[in-house]
Amino acid sequence: MTEAPRTGVYVCDCGFNILGTVDVPEVVRYAGTLEGVSIAREYKFMCSDPGQQLIKKDVHELGLNRLVVASCSPWLHERTFRKTAADAGLNPFLFHMVNIREGVSWVTADKAAATEKAKALVRGGVRRVALQEALEVRREPVNPDVLVLGGGIAGIHAALTMANAGKRVILVEREPSIGGNMARFDKTFPTLDCSSCILTPKMTEVKDHPNITLYTYSEVVAVDGFVGNFEVTIERKPRYVREDLCTGCLKCVEECVYRDARFPNAFDLGLAKRKPVYVPFPQAVPLRPVIDPRDCLYLKFGKCKLTCVDACERDAIDFTMKAEQVKVQVGAIVVATGFKTFDARRKPQYGYGVLPNVYTSLEAERLLSPTGPMEGVPRLKDGALPKAVGIIHCVGSRDANTNAYCSKVCCMYSLKLAHLVHERTGAEVYNFYIDMRTPGKGYEEFYKKLLEEGAHLIRGRVAEVTNAALSKGERGKLVIRVEDTLAGFVRRIPVDMVILSVGMEPQADAQAVRRTLNLSCGSEGFFTELHPKLAPVSTATDGVFIAGACQGPKDIPDSVAQAGAAAAEALALVDRGMVEVQPYAALVDETLCSGCKICLGVCPYDAIGFDAEKKVARITEVKCKGCGVCVVACPSAAIDQRHFRTQVIMEEVAGVLA
C-alpha cells in the first residue's frame, strides 16, 4: 500500500430496519473520528440508486480510495457495492461491507448495546479496509455441456429442456430404467390422466434425442472441478447384457432356466416377482434386460445351462462385464435425485409388516396399476375384493415422533387412491385426515368431487389399526380406532384393507450425494436452495442446481416446474460462456513451507498438491474455493489467503475489540 487511506464510511438506515434499533447518526459521527476516514454519511437506503450515486460522487470529489458500507449481510448487497466501487473507478476489493442488520439490529432490542456493537464493527471494518489489496476477478470459460443426476420426471424434464435448447446433456440414472416413481403410478391427480400415457412419450424422447447421452444403472461417484468446468466420474454397474447389441426382444427372460419368476421386483416394491434376468417394467427405457448377480445361477455358482445365452440371437449376454468408470466434462449440474417414502414400520401401531392387508400408499399405487401385481384390482390376501378400505393420512408426517413437516402431496394422492379403490373394487372407502390440504389448481374441486362420490372423510389422527375385535362385526377385520374430532367421540371402524399414506423423505443416500456435490441440507435432510424465495433452484455451490423432491416434498406439477427452472438457470450459465472466479485463493510461502503435507489432507476440494522436487505444498488456484481451512491448519503459518490475509483479519479483530 503506497497511498494513505482516504476512506468513505456509509451507514445505512435500511428504512427502520437498522434505524429502529441502532443510533445511526451516532455511528456516523463516531466513524468520522476514526483514523483514515475522510467522510462518513448516513442514508435511508444505501443500496438504492441515489445511495450509490452518493458514494460515486464522494469518490470523485473527495478522492476516496477505500469504501466501507455498514448495512445488511454481504450475501445481499456485497455484489451491488463492489459494482458501485468499480463504476467509480476503484478496485472493487478495496471495499468492505459491515453487517449491522442481520448481525446487530435484528438480533436485539437493546438500542445502546446495538449502537455500541455497530460502532465496534465499523471500527473493525475501517481498520481492515486500509490493509486490503486490489485484486482481479478471474474469468474462466464454461463448458457448454450439462449433467442431470436422476432420471425421474424432474430429471427427464430438465434433460429434455436443455437438450431441446441445443445443449449436449448427460443423464445419469441409478436404476435400470428411467421413469422414477411416476412410472409406478396408474393415474395422477387431480385430472386422473394416465401416468404412463403422459410419461412414456417423454421417456422415449430421452432415448431418441440426439443431444442426450443416457447412462442408466449408473451412479455419479465423484465430482471434481468448479463452476463451468466440472469433471464428473460416473460408475456404470454391469448389466451383463450389452446395451449396444441387445434389441430388447426379451427372449433371454423367456428362456431363463428359472421357469417361474421368484425374486422380488424392486419396481413393484417386492409385491411382484421377477426372474434373475428382467426388465423392471414393460415400458422401461432403455428396454434392455439386467441380470442380477445375486440371483443368477451362473454368476453365483458358475454353473448353469445358460439357456439365456442360447436364446440371444445377438450374443448380447456377456458375463465378463465389470463395473466401469466414465469421466465426463460439464459446465453445470442439475440434481434431481428424488425421494424415498417413510418406512411405515416406524409407526408400529398401524400394523404394517405385521397385519395382513396393510399396505403403504406407494404399494397401493402398484396394486392399482394394470401392469402391477394385481393387474389394477386390489384384492385381499385370500383373493376376495375388499368391502371396506381405510386410508390413513399423515403416516410419519406432522408428527413430533417422526417427521415434523407436512409432506404436501399426501392429501391429494390419498383422495386419488380413494377414488380408484372405489372405482375398481366397489369398496366403501374411509379417509382419516388431520387437516385436508388441497391448495392447487383443480385440487379443491377434486376434493369436492370425492365428497360427492360418497367417500367417507373422518377428521382425526388414527390411534391404531388392530385385529383385536370387540364385537362379532369386528371379527376377522382390521379395526381402525380413531377419535373423530368433528363428531367428538372415539370410533372403531372395521375395514378389510388399510392403506397408509406415507410421507416423503430424502433418499437413503442423500448425504453421500450431498458430500459428492458439496451441497447443504436442512435438518430433515432435503437439499437446501440458495434462497427459499429468490434462488429456489440454485445451491451454495455455483453451477449446481436442484429440482424436484430432493429439495423437499413435491407433486408432479411442482417437480416439472422446478425442473424447467433449474434447466433455465443452467442454460443461463452455460450460454454466458464465462464465469467469474473470486480471487480468494490461498497461497503458499515456499520459504516457510516445511513440506509436512498437513494441508493436503484437510483440503475439502483436493486443491493442494505436493511439489516433490522443492518439497513444498502447491495450490491449484482454479480448484481452491478460498475456504481457509489450510491456512489455519498450517503449523508453519506458511499459507495465507488473498482478501483474507491473516494480517487483515487480525487487524479487523483488533479494531472490533479496541
Partner 1 sequence: MTREYLYYPGCSLKGSGNPYDRSLRAVFGTLDLRLEEIADWNCCGATAYLSVDADTAVALAARNLALAERQDGRDVVAPCSGCYLSLTKAKVSLEADPALRERVTAALKTGSLDYRGTARIRHPLEVLMTDIGAPEIRKRVVRPLKGLRLAPYYGCAILRPYEEVDDAHTPTVLEDLMRTAGATPVDFPYKSRCCGGMLTSGVPGIGLRLVEILLDAAADSKADALVTTCPLCQYNLEVFQDRLRKDRPERLPVLYFTQVLGLALGLSEPALGLDQLLWRPALAVEVRR
Binding site for partner 1 (CB under 8 A): 348-349, 354, 466-470
Of all helices (H) and strands (E), which one includes residue 206?
helix 195-208
Least distance (Å) from partner 1 to the CB of residue 399? 16
Least distance (Å) from partner 1 to the CB of residue 346? 11
State which residue, 470 or 512, has the beta carbon closest to partner 1: 470
State which residue, 338 or 396, has the beta carbon closest to partner 1: 396
User: Partners of 335 in the beta sheet?
Assistant: 149, 546
Least distance (Å) from partner 1 to the CB of residue 400? 15
User: What does DSSP say about strands 428-433 and 388-395: parallel, antiparallel, or unpaired?
Assistant: parallel
CA 510/CA 644 separation, integer angstroms: 33
User: Partners of 66 in the beta sheet?
Assistant: 7
Least distance (Å) from partner 1 to the CB of residue 311? 46
Least distance (Å) from partner 1 to the CB of residue 396? 15
CA 120/CA 106 separation, integer angstroms: 17
Least distance (Å) from partner 1 to the CB of residue 483? 17
Least distance (Å) from partner 1 to the CB of residue 459? 25
Least distance (Å) from partner 1 to the CB of residue 433? 23
Check: CB of residue 569 under 8 Å from CB of residue 537: yes
398-403: long-range pairs with CB below 8 Å, 24+: 398/434, 402/342, 402/346, 402/347, 403/342, 403/503, 403/505, 403/524
Least distance (Å) from partner 1 to the CB of residue 254? 42
Residues in the chain: 658
State which residue, 202 or 477, has the beta carbon closest to partner 1: 477
Least distance (Å) from partner 1 to the CB of residue 434? 21
Least distance (Å) from partner 1 to the CB of residue 468? 4
State which residue, 152 or 396, has the beta carbon closest to partner 1: 396
Least distance (Å) from partner 1 to the CB of residue 353? 9
Assigned C-alpha cell, 567? 434447466
Assigned C-alpha cell, 2? 503506497
State which residue, 197 or 355, has the beta carbon closest to partner 1: 355
State which residue, 11 or 495, has the beta carbon closest to partner 1: 495
Indicate left, alpha or beta for 315 from its phi (over 0: left) and psi (-120 to 50: alpha).
left
Least distance (Å) from partner 1 to the CB of residue 351? 8
Which ranges in 132-194 belong to alpha helices (H)? 153-164
State which residue, 218 or 466, has the beta carbon closest to partner 1: 466
Order of all β-strands in the sheet with 358-360: 358-360, 497-502, 388-395, 428-433, 456-459
Which among 263, 253, 258 is positioned nearest to 308, based on CA atoms? 253
Q: What dihedral do alpha carbons 265, 266, 272, 274 form, nearest 10°?
A: -10
What are the DSSP calls for 72-137, one per residue?
Answer: S-HHHHHHHHHHHHHHTTS-GGGEEEEE-IIIIITT---HHHHHHHHHHHHHHHHHHHHH------
491 Cβ contact list (under 8 Å, min separation 6): 458, 460, 481, 482, 483, 484
Assigned C-alpha cell, 451? 365428497
CA 186/CA 390 separation, integer angstroms: 19
Single-letter code of the amino acid located at 457:
L
State which residue, 200 or 467, has the beta carbon closest to partner 1: 467
State which residue, 323 or 354, has the beta carbon closest to partner 1: 354
Q: What is the largest CA-CA distance in the chain?
A: 96
State which residue, 468 or 657, has the beta carbon closest to partner 1: 468
**DSSP assignment letter at 142:** -
Check: CB of residue 133 under 8 Å from CB of residue 1: yes
Which among 260, 385, 253 is positioned nearest to 312, based on CA atoms? 253
State which residue, 497 or 556, has the beta carbon closest to partner 1: 497
State which residue, 490 or 632, has the beta carbon closest to partner 1: 490
State which residue, 46 or 462, has the beta carbon closest to partner 1: 462
Which among 539, 498, 497 is positioned nearest to 516, based on CA atoms? 539
